[in-house]
């Protein structure tokens, strides 16, 4: 059981020790934090098929509950993987202010918080880790930001809006605690159904608010575009992969936590919210002239599909959203990184100033196209499977209008996705970019190749990943296919 | 001895593996890429020879999505024919590419995508379940998109790829909706099981499903009103136009409708819709082809038009006729495109007004083009004659006179433009001084083979109909000599003969018809802009884009951000104003305490 403790506290120890590294030896700090993230990943991998639980008494009647199961495994692997990706990406990147050991320490703290969120089986503990994750993320956003004029506003907005969601969740947790006198999720699983339905509905709706905000569901989305766009790339990568994964994980964990009759009435409101997100985010992305902001809004639109999958409350639909924990992270990472590589060389993110980069950066063009197709849910890319599962849940739900509307939304996705690739990579190369110097970097090649191969391989043969998703859902009481 | 059950899987995996290996080979030894691809094509083509023997046999299946989907192969005539067309015409196109693409860059991208395309066409047609069908259907779309935009530096090519993807995407969501509805109602993706349970589905839902399938087919097969992507797709290398946009992928829609025809038969009104879509598209395509001057676009419109005939055939219940025409069309249209490629390759232009008199310099290309054109217009005894006649005959038997008349009119125009194109390109005076040679052997051999196919492929009607019963669809078994006899004695033959003669007369006296242009200028103007479909769509897309921009610039930037800032400002203002109350003065503090106590006391007492 000590594995769970190592899993939980390894990033924290890493975050402490990385601070001992002298300030100017930033590549050593990067390598150190990379090793920590890799160890975390390796440990999670060795634990995968198992189901472990560990109680840690802290005195004063406080007991922490850690548990590892397939759903946690999915989230953990994605989190550690995203962390590795982002750290690798940051190597040798000339960002302002300079990367320092504290930069990597903050990244490891984010990992610590998110790992805590996925392992926690006690509501208070869950909330504490949720906050632990939020604070270093905020520190990263405000300290490594490319827009000094707006940084205070962006940081405040990011923190306050996500915090409002978290506080609403806390109020639900306190409500539960005051009702039952415990916050142990295993105990509550049996206790919750004894409550009247109306109370449960209110409790659940409040509880999910932290995740709704984290997924940037309209109208709580305004923190997202600014935070994603103005942050330095490595920070953006952390946000798009780790923050999003944890948001989806939260819904996946707590939707089945509440009794079915409590969440059933939330279905239609969530469907409507998801449709608004799909179309609103899509329209924003389509109108956007800045590539980074465009991908940011695309994320908002995609989260609409994630919420849609959950709203079906049908095993297939939920499996689509759980599958999306993997898909969204890797797709967004590759898309951001490959377009980012071009933007870095060209010195601009503006679509009208880009174009024709397939000639100079053919590899980035292939990766970006692949990730874009995955974003669109087009085979043979990974994104096809979650999207298809989400929609089959939608149709099985029986409301054909809602399901068809969501399908129509994919045309909008295709419109902005194709537009992005078209304007960055195709057409003639701008004259002023003819002489742009491309610095080949092993770390970029490595992360992009790995990400692209994952997207392609799991797109052609999704069985290994889906098997994990399926066992996660079986444990949550949403069995698929006997 | 090889396990025969593996043949369909091998047929799929060999080109797939080839597509994956091409980039690696490109890294190691880039010169070997074309030959390696041709070799993969050859292996695939050889495996293809074993496929007809597997009709009706059991094949392997694979767990694709544990607990949800086990995918296998459906081996009947309906599925094997499109798969083999992709295999063999694909192979010929690969050989032809050795010559045609020689001077281009980025060949690994070209060959890899072409092999991937061949694999996905095979996968699409052999799939035994709707999900796999949709998967490969989409992969074909991706290959098409990427290959249309092959010359990505040209903004026209890049935009054409986007347009093709978006337009077909509209169809694809219909297809996916239909598939998922069937899955939601029956719990299976299996095609045969889904079709069998069609009768148990409530009528409104059945209508919805039929609509979805038709929408998907209309998008992929470039039927009205979603045909607009195909002419623009001609920005692709001509080899790709021949393979994807004439011989194979665009047939997928017709194949789909044929496959789900037992379901469509339950909702006859949708069959009528299909008839009219087909007939009107046939007319539209032939009309636009008659007045265009871009050689590739003429052929593209012609493809649209011929696909319309196949739709008509499915609509009137002649599923075999639709597939028979699909088979003929793949051969002669592939041929026409490859001939056009040879010409364009030599002259460097697509405009037929700059061609002319090429017969003398390119005799093989000219002869084979003529054979293709004659098959296209349906001259006896080429393959297009038999299959088109069969379609008209089916329409007549079904009593669909309206669509039949429209289709006959289209056939007339087809005869006209086939002759016109051949004449303008190959006969008459030379109009450019460019030095012209006959194409190299790697290009002319495929042309000759396809020309031979156009002449004799109809003979295969015997084996095709013999194994047809295994599809579960009706068609009489008919040998080639019976087909010959029946076709010439059919009523439809009179129509065919009349329209060919009329078409020839129009062609012959076309110079004398110049006055028409002055009489109805509006008509010619409308035709020259493709009857305004493109204009409508570009208006629509501009509308969506502008609406998004307004939403973004006003609502998101002003209103949503305004709310954020206003919330902040209100909080600050509130705190400033309420700060006044915190005087720190003992007197005031005591006053508040006393007031509060009184209120609490009052509440308790009350």
**pLDDT beneath 50, residues of chain A:** none
Task: Judge whether B123 is closer than 8 Å to chain A, CB to CB.
Answer: no
B62-82 in b/e form (b: 16+ CB < 10 A) is eebbbbbbbbbbbbbbbbbbb
The label of the residue with tokens 């495109």 reads: B337
What is the distance in angstroms between the Cα of B166 and the nearest Cα belonging to chain A?
7
Helix, strand or coil, per DSSP, at residue A336: helix
Please give the Cα distance from B384 to B303 (Å, whole number).
13
Of A385, A415, A426, the CB nearest to B166: A415
CA-based max dimension of chain A: 70
The answer to the question of residue A32 being in a domain is no
Close Cβ partners of B511 (under 8 Å, ≥ 6 residues apart): none
- The pLDDT of residue B528 is above 80: no
Beta-bridged to residue A277, according to DSSP, are none
What is the mean pLDDT of the segment spanning B373-394? 88
- A296 in a domain, yes or no? yes
pLDDT of residue A481: 67
Residue from B336, B327, B328, B338 nearest B372 by CA:
B336
Residue A150 lies in a domain: no
Task: Give the whole-angstrom CA distance, residue B70 versus residue B240.
Answer: 32
- Quote the domain boundaries for residue A481: 274-482
Angle ∠(A92,A94,A95) on CA atoms, nearest 5: 125
The CA distance from B136 to B143, in Å, is: 10
For residue A358, give the nearest of A417, A429, A291 by alpha carbon: A429
Interface test with B, best of A404, A445, A461, A462 (most B CBs within 10 A): A404
Buried b / exposed e across A92-131, counting CB within 10 Å, b at 16+? ebebeeebbbbbbbbbbbbbbbbbbbbbbbbbbbbbbbbb
Q: Are residues B264 and B218 in the same domain?
A: yes
Q: Which residues make Cβ contacts (< 8 Å) with residue B572, sequence separation at least 6?
A: none
In a mutagenesis test of the B interface, which of A164, A301, A376, A380 is the best target, namely the one with the most B β-carbons within 10 Å? A380
- CA distance to partner chain B, nearest, from residue A36 (Å): 33
pLDDT of residue B138: 93
Residue B1 pLDDT > 70: no
Mean pLDDT taken over chain B: 87
Please name the residue ranges forming H helices in B128-236.
130-148, 155-186, 191-196, 203-220, 229-232
Q: Could you tell me the residue range of the domain that residue B212 belongs to?
A: 4-528
- B456 contact A CB<8A: no
> Of the candidates B82, B79, B65, which has an alpha carbon nearest to the alpha carbon of residue B189?
B65
A236 is written with which tokens?
């953006």
**A467/chain B closest Cα distance in angstroms:** 6
CA distance linking residue B364 with residue B375, whole number of Å: 17
Please give the distance of CA A327 from its chain centroid, rounded to a whole number: 9
Task: Single out the residue of A88, A49, A46, A64 nearest to residue A8, CA to CA.
Answer: A64
B492 shares a domain with B551: no
**B427 touches B44 (CB < 8 A):** no
For tokens 């997207």, name the residue.
Answer: A455
Instruction: Give residue-wise pLDDT tens across range B16-37.
Output: 999 999 999 988 888 888 999 9
Mean per-residue pLDDT, B368-387 = 89
Amino acid B552: pLDDT: 86
Q: Which residue from B153, B544, B553 is facing A428, i.e. has the nearest CB?
A: B153
- Beta carbons of A382 and A331 less than 8 angstroms apart: yes
**Domain assignment present for A379:** yes
Q: Are residues B469 and B449 in the same domain?
A: yes
Same structural domain, B107 and B179 = yes
Q: Look at the pTM and tell me if it is higher than 0.90.
A: yes
- CA A277, CA A275: separation in Å to the nearest integer? 5
Domain-terminating residue out of B497, B528, B559: B528
What is the count of structural domains for chain A? 1
B289 and B209 share one domain: yes
Assign residue B573 a region (left: φ > 0; alpha: ψ between -120 and 50; beta: otherwise): alpha
| Position with higher pLDDT, B486 vs B263 | B263
| Chain-chain contact of A287 with B553 (C-beta, under 8 angstroms) | yes
Q: Is A158 within the bounds of a domain? A: no
Which member of B135, B180, B561 has the closest CB to residue A391? Answer: B180
Cβ–Cβ gap A395/B165 under 8 Å: no
**Among partner residues B131, B166, B183, which is closest to A414 by beta-carbon distance?**
B166
Residue A65 lies in a domain: no
Task: Dump pLDDT digits (tens) for B176-212.
Answer: 999 999 999 988 898 888 888 888 888 889 999 999 9
Rounded to the nearest 5°, which phi and psi values hold at B477?
Answer: -70, 130
Cα dihedral B312/B317/B322/B323 (nearest 10): 160
- Looking at the fold, whether B501 and B567 belong to one and the same domain comes out as no
Q: Looking at the structure, do residues B134 and B161 belong to the same domain, yes or no?
A: yes
Number of domain units in chain B? 2
Whether the upstream peptide bond of residue A103 has omega within 30° of 0, thus cis, is no
B545 touches chain A (CB under 8 A): yes
Residue B154 CA to residue B160 CA, distance in Å, equals 10
- Whether residue B186 is found in the same domain as residue B102: yes
Q: Do A287 and B67 touch (CB under 8 A)?
A: no
Rounded to whole angstroms, how far apart are CA atoms B462 and B464? 5
Q: Which of B473, B506, B528 is the last residue of a domain?
A: B528
State whether B72 and B98 are in the same domain.
Answer: yes
Q: Which of A354, A466, A472 to mutate to test the interface with B (most CBs of B within 10 A)?
A: A466
For residues B447 and B578, membership in a common domain is answered with no
**DSSP 8-state class, residue B354:** G
Distance in angstroms (rounded) separating the CA atoms of residues B318 and B76: 17
Name the nearest CA neighbour of A234 among A154, A297, A144.
A144
Of B324, B210, B308, nearest in space to B250 by CA: B308
SS3 state at B525 = helix
CB pair distance less than 8 Å for A283 and B551: yes
Of B45 and B468, which is predicted with more confidence? B45
Mutation for A interface: B13, B64, B67, B70, most A CBs within 10 A: B67
Is A346 part of any domain?
A: yes
From CA B459, how far away is CA B141, in angstroms rounded? 32
Q: Are residues B546 and B601 in the same domain?
A: yes
pLDDT(B2) > 60: no
CA distance B157 to A426: 9
DSSP annotation of B236:
S
Q: How far is B151 from chain A (nearest CA, A)?
A: 9
State the Cα–Cα distance between residues A212 and B251, nearest whole angstrom.
45
Q: What distances in angstroms separate CA B149 from CA A15, A250, B106, B580, one per listed residue? A: 47, 41, 12, 68
- Name the maximum alpha-carbon separation found in chain B: 117
3-state secondary structure B438-470: CCCHHHHHHHHHHHHHHHHHHHHHHHHHHCHHH
Backbone angles phi, psi at A66, to 5 degrees: -110, 140
Kind plus residue range of the DSSP H or E element containing B547 = helix B533-550
Contacts of B544 in chain A (CB under 8 A): 286, 415
Please give the Cα distance from B315 to B257 (Å, whole number).
Answer: 9
Q: Rounded distance, CA B121 to CA B86, Å? A: 6
CA atoms within 13 A on the CB side of B326: 34
pLDDT score recorded for residue A482: 52
Q: Are B150 and B244 in the same domain?
A: yes
Q: According to the model, what pLDDT value does residue A426 have?
A: 87
> Which residue from A105, A108, A250, A240 is spatially nearest to A166, judged by alpha carbons?
A250
The residue from B477, B493, B528 where one domain ends is: B528
Per-residue model confidence (pLDDT) at position A383: 92
Cα separation, B197 vs B190, in Å, equals 11
């Amino acid at each position: 059981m000590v594995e769970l403790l190592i899993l939980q506290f390894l990033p924290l120890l890493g975050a402490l020790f990385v601070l001992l590294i002298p300030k100017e030896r930033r590549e050593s700090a990067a390598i150190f934090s990379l090793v920590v993230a890799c160890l975390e990943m390796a440990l999670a991998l060795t634990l995968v098929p198992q189901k472990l639980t560990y109680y840690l008494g802290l005195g004063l009647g406080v007991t922490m509950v850690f548990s590892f199961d397939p759903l946690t495994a999915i989230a953990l692997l994605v989190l550690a993987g995203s962390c590795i990706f982002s750290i690798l990406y940051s190597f040798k990147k000339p960002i302002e202010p300079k990367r320092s050991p504290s930069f990597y320490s903050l990244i490891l703290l984010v990992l610590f918080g998110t790992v805590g969120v996925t392992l926690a089986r006690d509501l208070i503990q869950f909330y504490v880790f949720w906050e632990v994750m939020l604070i270093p993320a905020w520190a990263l956003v405000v300290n490594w930001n490319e827009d000094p004029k707006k940084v205070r506003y962006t940081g405040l907005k990011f923190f306050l809006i996500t915090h409002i969601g978290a506080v609403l969740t806390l109020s639900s947790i306190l409500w539960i605690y005051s009702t039952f006198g415990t916050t142990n999720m295993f105990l509550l699983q049996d206790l919750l159904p004894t409550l009247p339905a109306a109370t449960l509905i209110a409790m659940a709706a409040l509880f999910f608010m932290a995740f709704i905000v984290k997924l940037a569901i309209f109208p709580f989305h305004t923190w997202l575009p600014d935070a994603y766009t103005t942050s330095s790339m490595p920070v953006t990568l952390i946000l798009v992969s780790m923050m999003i994964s944890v948001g989806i994980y939260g819904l996946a964990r707590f939707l089945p936590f509440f009794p079915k009759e409590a969440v059933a009435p939330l279905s239609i409101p969530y469907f409507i919210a998801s449709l608004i997100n799909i179309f609103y985010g899509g329209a924003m992305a389509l109108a956007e002239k800045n590539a980074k902001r465009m991908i940011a809004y695309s994320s908002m639109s995609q989260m609409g599909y994630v919420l849609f999958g959950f709203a079906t409350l049908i095993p297939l639909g939920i499996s689509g959203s759980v599958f999306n924990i993997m898909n969204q992270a890797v797709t967004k990472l590759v898309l951001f990184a490959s377009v980012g590589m071009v933007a870095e060389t060209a010195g601009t993110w503006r679509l009208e100033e880009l174009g024709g980069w397939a000639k100079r950066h053919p590899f980035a063009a292939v990766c970006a196209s692949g990730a874009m197709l995955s974003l669109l849910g087009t085979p043979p890319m990974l994104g096809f499977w979650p999207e298809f599962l989400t929609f089959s849940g939608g149709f099985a739900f029986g409301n054909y209008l809602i399901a068809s509307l969501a399908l129509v939304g994919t045309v909008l996705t295709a419109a902005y996705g194709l537009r992005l690739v078209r304007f960055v990579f195709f057409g003639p190369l701008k004259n002023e970019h003819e002489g742009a110097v491309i610095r080949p970097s092993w770390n970029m090649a490595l992360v992009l190749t790995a990400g692209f191969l994952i997207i392609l391989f799991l797109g052609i043969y999704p069985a290994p990943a889906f098997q994990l998703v399926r066992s996660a859902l079986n444990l949550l009481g949403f069995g698929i296919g006997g | 001895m090889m396990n025969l059950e593996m043949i369909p899987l091998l047929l799929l995996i060999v080109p797939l593996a080839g597509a994956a290996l091409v980039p690696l080979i490109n890294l190691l030894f880039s010169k070997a890429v074309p030959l390696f691809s041709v070799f993969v094509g050859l292996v695939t083509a050889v495996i293809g020879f074993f496929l007809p023997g597997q009709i009706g046999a059991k094949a392997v299946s694979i767990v694709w999505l544990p607990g949800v989907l086990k995918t296998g192969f459906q081996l009947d005539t309906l599925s094997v024919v499109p798969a083999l067309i992709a295999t063999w015409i694909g192979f010929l196109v690969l050989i032809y590419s050795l010559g045609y693409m020689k001077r281009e860059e980025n060949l690994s991208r070209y060959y890899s995508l072409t092999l991937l395309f061949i694999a996905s066409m095979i996968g699409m047609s052999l799939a035994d379940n709707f999900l796999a069908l949709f998967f490969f259907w989409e992969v074909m779309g991706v290959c098409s998109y990427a290959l249309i935009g092959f010359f990505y530096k040209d903004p026209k090519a890049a935009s054409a790829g986007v347009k093709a993807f978006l337009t077909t995407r509209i169809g694809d969501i219909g297809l996916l909706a239909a598939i998922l509805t069937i899955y939601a109602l029956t719990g299976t993706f299996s095609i045969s099981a889904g079709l069998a349970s069609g009768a148990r589905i409530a009528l409104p839902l059945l209508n919805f499903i039929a609509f979805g399938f038709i929408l998907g087919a209309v998008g992929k097969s470039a039927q009205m009103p979603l045909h607009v992507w195909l002419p623009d797709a001609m920005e692709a290398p001509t080899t790709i136009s021949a393979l994807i946009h004439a011989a194979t992928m665009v047939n997928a829609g017709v194949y789909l409708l044929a496959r789900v025809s037992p379901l469509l038969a339950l909702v006859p009104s949708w069959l009528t819709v299909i008839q009219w879509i087909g007939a009107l598209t046939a007319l539209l395509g032939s009309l636009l082809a008659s007045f265009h001057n871009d050689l590739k676009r003429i052929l593209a419109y012609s493809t649209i038009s011929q696909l319309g005939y196949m739709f008509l055939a499915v609509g009137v219940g002649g599923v075999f006729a639709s597939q028979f025409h699909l088979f003929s069309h793949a051969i002669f249209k592939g041929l026409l495109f490859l001939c056009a490629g040879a010409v364009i390759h030599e002259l460097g232009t697509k405009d037929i007004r700059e061609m002319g008199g090429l017969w003398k310099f390119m005799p093989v290309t000219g002869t084979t083009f003529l054979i293709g054109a004659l098959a296209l217009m349906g001259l006896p005894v080429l393959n297009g004659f038999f299959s088109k006649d069969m379609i008209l005959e089916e329409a007549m038997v079904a009593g669909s006179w309206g669509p039949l008349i429209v289709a006959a009119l289209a056939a007339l125009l087809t005869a006209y433009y086939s002759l016109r194109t051949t004449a303008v390109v190959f006969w008459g005076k030379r109009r450019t001084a460019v030095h012209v040679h006959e194409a190299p052997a790697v290009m002319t051999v495929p042309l000759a083979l396809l020309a031979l196919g156009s002449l004799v492929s109809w003979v295969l009607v015997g084996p095709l109909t013999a194994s047809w019963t295994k599809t579960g669809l009706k068609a009489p078994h008919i040998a080639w000599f019976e087909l010959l006899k029946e076709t010439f004695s059919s009523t439809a033959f009179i129509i065919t003969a009349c329209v060919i003669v009329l078409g020839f007369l129009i062609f012959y006296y076309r110079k004398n018809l110049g006055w028409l242009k002055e009489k109805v200028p509006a008509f010619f103007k409308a035709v020259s802009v493709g009857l305004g479909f493109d204009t409508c769509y570009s208006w629509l897309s501009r509308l969506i884009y502008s609406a998004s921009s307004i939403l973004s610039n006003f609502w998101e930037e002003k209103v949503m951000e305004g709310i954020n800032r206003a919330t902040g400002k209100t909080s600050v203002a509130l705190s400033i104003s309420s700060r006044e109350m915190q005087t720190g003065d003992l007197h005031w503090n005591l006053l508040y305490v006393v007031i509060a106590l009184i209120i609490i006391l009052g509440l308790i007492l009350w």
